[in-house]
Chains A and B, each alone.
Chain A
Amino acid sequence: MTRLDFMQGNVASAEGAIAAGCRFFGGYPITPSTEIAERMAARLPRVGGTFIQMEDEIASIAAVIGASWTGMKAMTATSGPGFSLMLENLGFAVMTETPLVVVDIQRGGPSTGQPTMSSQGDMLQCRYGSHGDIATIALAPASVQEMYDLTVKAFNLAERFRCPAFVMADEIVGHMRERIEIPGSVEVAKRRPLEPGRLPFAAGPDLVPGFPSFGRGYRVHVTGLTHDERGYPATNDEAVHAALVERLVTKVESSRREIADYEVMNPDADVVIVCYGAPARTVLQLAAEQAGPPVGVLRFRVVWPFPEHALGEFPNAEAFIVPEQNMGQLAREIERHTSLPVVPVPKLGGDLHTPGELARVVEEVRRR
């Protein structure tokens, strides 16, 4: 039965994780994500799970990967500086096809930056931060409800595609308190075991091999080195390397329509605001309250793989306006997929754009 509650975004994310079956959390405290670790420390022991505070973020994500290989659903939560430390091992998770979830409550950077202020500065870090070529699954909640819902979804996508899934939230959504409806049960993806007789890294048509959990007699070798379908190192074989990396990227990229999740308002509009995360709240308010011709809204709940086809939902669009709490990270990606003008509206420092600010940009763009 659905239960009404009033809670903080970070707490909602932790609750979503537990509902999705997460039973392992390894983490390191960092503002503004720490409430997730604290909630998991309190909750996991009561549901038969394990919480551990590791010595740093490198160790945190390593422990999460290790736990995942026993077949357990596992996660960590962090913010920009910690996410940077995790990058090498996140590449390992991609290479070894390890399902896991990282919640990044973004704060102002670079460096220690603004620990308590909101930002969307890690959107490219999560996409391109790893060395080598990777595909990324990243979700962007804009409410406490979505902190819950999209954390559940991230776990399901991680299982479906056997890769890390990122909940790229921001300080505002992480720390705000709102009404939330907690569903009595949620749809939970189970880890699909390796089919008998198949090599551990040999994929079928969906490009995602079944998972040979440790301790079940598969006797699998897992390595971050380029490996063949047996999982054995084949580091000097061009063809093996190319086939492996192409499959790892393609299994996600070719499913961008399946993974896509976005909201469309006023599809006939001439000017469209593209948004995600906390700034979307201002955009939705503007669209609801604005006098004059309606402004289109495209709000992404999934940012990576970039749902480029969604831009086509606005046949009359003449320009895309992109308010972000960064200097135009997603705006650049949108430019790659349209010949129409793309107008970034960067906002640094931690505050949201005001509806007035965005209304002025809309007017300006219309005047052009």
Chain B
Amino acid sequence: MTFETWLRADRLPHIWCSGCSNGTILNCTLTAVDDLGLDPDRTVFVGGIGCSSRSVGYVATDSLHTTHGRALAFATGVKLADPTLNVLVFTGDGDLAAIGGNHFIHSCRRNIDLTVVCMNNLIYGMTGGQGSPTTPPGALSTTTPYGASEPAFDLAQLAVAAGANYVARWTSYHVRELERAIRAGIETPGLSFIEVRASCPTNYGRRNRLRDVTDQIEIFRTRSMLKAKYDRLVAAGSPVPPDAIVVGEFVRRANPVMGVPP
């Protein structure tokens, strides 16, 4: 892969803070599309609004940077109008699960042939660190100054329940696994959802005793638990650490899909 094949050199430097994991996740995604030999001229990236969604603007393909929460609805139009295009979506936890929650579950239900990469940093990064639907109970944000009091969404489980054909979760620490998951997602017809636990040192870490960039990465490294192990523990009735990040493939199936060329 050459840098110029997939990235717009004339858009750099990017807007992301140092230590932000969005760049890593973008990199893994572009490695995956390149490994699969996707044609940049026939590939479209769609994003909503947020630091994560800004990724689409750095990719050197056709790209649609839309409105907050609506990326999947726009992507649905692109894909249905021309099913021969490869359509990938970058989104954030707020974009996807709060304002865009309805489009998320319906896109999974339709099982439309999109690959969705969600950079889940547990916070609204772009607007300065407000709580999101994935902010863990107790975590501090500018709108949960006494600790988040609402339960958090499990995005991967939500996608499985709503009908997506491929669902995986990794973290920005697991770059090889993430690349493989995105590849598998692109190769699986239907909706593929890859949740990536991402670090936002500026607006999440700073308020939650993860001041150094490496603190967050260390959590990804030490608290991640493979889905297979998690399932074994649950089946055996053994306790699962409450802060475990369950990673791996959640589902890969071949249910009927929408938006593939006849």
A59-B103, A62-B70 given; A69·B64 CB < 8 A: yes
Distance in angstroms from B146 CB to nearest chain A CB is: 32
Distance in angstroms from A134 CB to nearest chain B CB is: 15
Beyond known contacts A60-B73, A66-B81: 9 more, CB 8 A cutoff = A52-B76, A54-B73, A54-B76, A62-B76, A214-B78, A223-B65, A224-B67, A232-B10, A233-B57
Cα–Cα distance between A222 and B56 once the two chains are bound (Å): 10
CB of B11 closer than 8 Å to a CB of A:
yes
Question: Are B40 and A66 within 8 A (Cβ)?
Answer: no
Cα–Cα distance between A223 and B63 once the two chains are bound (Å): 8
Question: Are B85 and A214 within 8 A (Cβ)?
Answer: yes
- Which of A69, A89, A220 touches B78 (beta carbons < 8 Å)? A69
Interface size class of A (residues with CB under 8 A): 35 or more
Max chain B CB contacts within 10 Å: which of A23, A58, A63, A74? Answer: A63
Residues of A whose CB lies within 8 Å of any CB of B are 23-24, 26, 50, 52, 54-56, 58-60, 62-70, 72, 74, 88-89, 92, 212, 214-225, 230, 232-233
Cα–Cα distance between A66 and B73 once the two chains are bound (Å): 8
A214-B85, A224-B67 given; A67·B78 CB < 8 A: yes
A26-B77, A56-B102, A72-B81 given; A215·B44 CB < 8 A: yes
Max chain B CB contacts within 10 Å: which of A26, A89, A215, A220? Answer: A215
Cα–Cα distance between A216 and B40 once the two chains are bound (Å): 10
Residues from chain A with Cβ under 8 Å of B243 in the complex: none
CB of B142 closer than 8 Å to a CB of A:
no
- Which of A59, A69, A217, A233 touches B73 (beta carbons < 8 Å)? A59
Cα–Cα distance between A214 and B79 once the two chains are bound (Å): 11
Number of interface residues of B (CB under 8 A): 34
Distance in angstroms from A188 CB to nearest chain B CB is: 18
Per DSSP, are chain B's interface residues mostly helix, strand or loop, or mixed? helix
Question: Are B70 and A218 within 8 A (Cβ)?
Answer: no
Distance in angstroms from B5 CB to nearest chain A CB is: 11
Question: Are A224 and B65 within 8 A (Cβ)?
Answer: yes
- Which of B75, B77, B82 touches A215 (beta carbons < 8 Å)? B82
Question: Are B74 and A63 within 8 A (Cβ)?
Answer: yes
Distance in angstroms from A221 CB to nearest chain B CB is: 5
A24-B80, A59-B76, A219-B40 given; A66·B103 CB < 8 A: no
Residues from chain B with Cβ under 8 Å of A232 in the complex: 10-11, 57
Cα–Cα distance between A336 and B97 once the two chains are bound (Å): 46
- Which of B63, B74, B80 touches A50 (beta carbons < 8 Å)? B80
Residues from chain A with Cβ under 8 Å of B178 in the complex: none
- Which of B42, B63, B70, B77 touches A58 (beta carbons < 8 Å)? B70
Residues from chain A with Cβ under 8 Å of B67 in the complex: 62, 88-89, 92, 224
Can you report 29 A-B residue pairs in the complex whose CB atoms are below 8 A from each other? A24-B80, A26-B76, A50-B80, A50-B81, A54-B106, A55-B106, A56-B102, A60-B73, A62-B70, A62-B73, A62-B103, A63-B80, A65-B66, A66-B46, A66-B64, A66-B75, A66-B76, A66-B78, A92-B66, A214-B62, A214-B64, A215-B42, A217-B41, A219-B40, A220-B62, A221-B8, A222-B62, A222-B65, A230-B10
